[in-house]
Amino acid sequence: MQLIIIKLKSRSSQAVKVQEVLTKHGGDIQVRLGLHGAAADNGDEDGLIILKVKSDQSVVNSLVSDLNSAGQVEIKNVSF
């Protein structure tokens, strides 16, 4: 099982770029869960996206590379 955890440091400015990457790699993403603060006025602009992706390492490398190009994201890979 391969998980990719993405922390968006500024959802309002990064969401569109990250969404474009996720759409491009949609066929390789099996599960997607997005978490963020409930209210925009609480000052919390961070967001968290958890992806379960196909375990093919080339798929993971390509997705992570594209996400890093989107900017202002922190990425962790978890393999079980």
Res 9 pLDDT > 80: yes
Beta bridge partners of 36: 47
Q: Are 48 and 3 in contact (CB under 8 A)?
A: no
Structural domains in the chain, CATH included, are 2-79 (3.30.70.1150)
Please report the sign of the dihedral spanned by the C-alpha atoms of residue 8, residue 22, residue 4, residue 71. Answer: negative
How many CB atoms neighbour CB 46 within 10 A?
14
Q: Give pLDDT tens digits for 24-77.
A: 999 999 999 998 766 555 667 788 999 999 878 999 999 999 999 988 899 999
Q: What is the pLDDT of residue 13?
A: 78
Contact 48, 18 (CB under 8 A): no
What is the rounded distance in angstroms from the CA atom of residue 45 to the CA atom of residue 11? 6
pTM of the predicted model as reported, rounded to 2 decimal places: 0.85
